Amino acid sequence: MESNMAMNTDMYPLYIGGKRVETNKIVPVFHKYTGEQIASIAWAEQCHVEEAVSCALQTFRDSTLAPYERYEILLKASSIAEQRREELERSLCREVGKPRKDAKGELDRVINTLRLSAEEAKRISGEMVPLHATEGAENRIGFAIRVPRGVIGAITPFNYPLLLSTHKVAPAIAAGNTVVLKPAPNTPIASFQLVEILEEAGLPQGYVNIITGGAEAGEWMLDDPRIAMYTFTGSEAVGARIKERSGLRPVTLELGNNSPNIVHSDADLGKAAGALAARSFHNAGQACIAVQRIFVQKDVLQEFTNKYLAHVQQLVVGDPEDPATDVGPMISEKEAIRAEEWVHEALSEGAELLYGGKREGAMMYPTVLAKTRPEMKVNCLEVFAPVVTISPYETIEEAFTIANNSAYGLQAGLFTSDLNIAMQGARKLEYGGVIINDVSTYRNDVMPYGGIKNSGLGKEGPRYAVEEMTELRMVVLNL
């Protein structure tokens, strides 16, 4: 089917019920490496948010898409995304500043997530409830079914705009919901591309509606009681506000982290150093499970550090559209300046610079620090930049303790050849995911993904997101 979104233009109005909606305010979108303007987006007012919710609600009430149809649409969307790979990868390079190899990885995961979500559309089921186990219910039959919640309010961040929109929208469709999607205003193009792909695959207009705007648009979404559930990926502060304002409505929150990665003395140091160096600066460190804190058993600290730095020194920094580039710019010069200030603050308080520390505009070069303290910002807060600290520990128990000394709890990495230590880590590390012999950054889209403590609530991953986006309804037959 032909979309009304008209993606052959660099102007992106709001998209509500299959219609392009113009607004009074227009905001530019910039190439994150060159700084040139690459697009413009409409800026929503409250009336537009209300219109989008109304459209989503009416579409939900009128919905006739059966599970097999949702399966077919999502599966076809995955094929279309594959066919448009070159275009989508280049777009991510431009609007996010993501190196080409990272953009390829994001596209691979988008395609896989669409396929996984398609499969989940066919697996939604219920369960029998043995009412006859209690006296007086001999003639009753009970069963529970899963039903869609209704309108899902989805708010996505800048760092993985296509993938994280897919992780919210595709399971919502699989579950039978409709969506009001608010992408990050500095990386909105990917969301429009996703909806265009879904509608080309056969999704009726009105199922996904796009609102672009600032924080006030998110507030207006929270004000609307017709939104049945909120799913958000972003900062801890915004997540806490969503939880506070959502009342009794369910929320899924994927928030911050300062990911610890433990390298024990019995680990394969070459493997650990290579894996950690490769993923420490992925997407310029702008991932909530990016490697941030590396803890190394003191007997192998120097050997590991030498191996790690040897890998880091090979990383190519530069134009994200150059296939050789490993590390591109951060999302903005403002964020790069913040990261640089945190590094300078740590150095002024006694930290040692092992590598990097250089900034040019929005480009923060890979930076490695040693001799830091837990209370320094580069350790206790989410740095969200290509900045890593390396610290020693004595015993594995101490490593678990210092790794857990965090307000966050999303994912942790542990390198060891000892199965007992691996299982201790699985039990003792206070994180939603514990990755053994790989980095904290590892995420397979089929797995349950979500943190504890200040890292959020609920789980993503298509199967688990479908559970979050449906509710259990009890049915009793009195015969």
Domains defined for the chain, CATH in brackets? 11-255+454-478 (3.40.605.10), 260-445 (3.40.309.10)
Q: Which of 106, 254, 340, 468 is catalytic?
A: 254
pLDDT tops 60 at residue 2: no
| pLDDT score, position 64 | 84
pLDDT tops 90 at residue 3: no
pLDDT category, 8, cuts 50, 70, 90?
A: very low
Strand ranges in 325-454 using DSSP code E only, listed in sequence order: 352-355, 359-360, 363-364, 367-370, 387-393, 411-415, 433-436
H or E stretch at 338 = helix 333-348
Task: Sort strands 140-148 and 470-478 into parallel, antiparallel or unpaired.
Answer: antiparallel
> pLDDT tens across 207-232, in order?
999 999 999 999 999 999 999 999 99
Backbone angles phi, psi at 446, to 5 degrees: -85, -15
What is the pLDDT averaged over residues 170-183?
99
Task: State the virtual CA torsion across 225, 228, 233, 237 in degrees, nearest 10.
Answer: 40
Angle between helical axes of 189-200 and 161-175 (0-180°, round to 10): 40
pTM listed for this prediction: 0.95
For the chain, how many residues are written?
479
pLDDT category, 1, cuts 50, 70, 90?
A: very low
288 given a catalytic annotation: yes
pLDDT tops 90 at residue 6: no
> pLDDT tens across 287-302, in order?
999 999 999 999 999 9
Instruction: Measure Cα distances from 385 to 291, 330, 465 in Å.
Output: 10, 7, 28
What is the pLDDT averaged over residues 58-75?
96
Reading phi first (left if > 0) and then psi (alpha if -120 to 50, else beta), residue 461 is in left
55 given a catalytic annotation: no
| pLDDT score, position 159 | 98
Instruction: Determine the distance from the C-alpha atom of residue 163 to the mean position of all C-alpha atoms in its chain, rounded to a whole number.
Output: 7
Percent of the chain with pLDDT over 90: 97
What is the pLDDT averaged over residues 92-106?
98
Q: Other CB atoms closer than 10 Å to residue 30's CB: what's the count?
A: 17
pLDDT tops 70 at residue 126: yes
pLDDT tops 90 at residue 7: no
H or E stretch at 147 = strand 140-148
> pLDDT tens across 435-464, in order?
999 999 999 999 999 999 999 999 999 999
Q: What is the mean pLDDT of the chain?
A: 97
pLDDT category, 63, cuts 50, 70, 90?
A: confident
| pLDDT score, position 352 | 99
Q: Which of 288, 321, 340, 467 is catalytic?
A: 288
Percent of the chain with pLDDT over 70: 98
pLDDT category, 367, cuts 50, 70, 90?
A: very high
H or E stretch at 229 = strand 227-233
What is the pLDDT averaged over residues 326-337?
98
Query: Tokens 């648009």, residue?
Result: 217
Instruction: Determine the distance from the C-alpha atom of residue 462 to the mean position of all C-alpha atoms in its chain, rounded to a whole number.
Output: 13
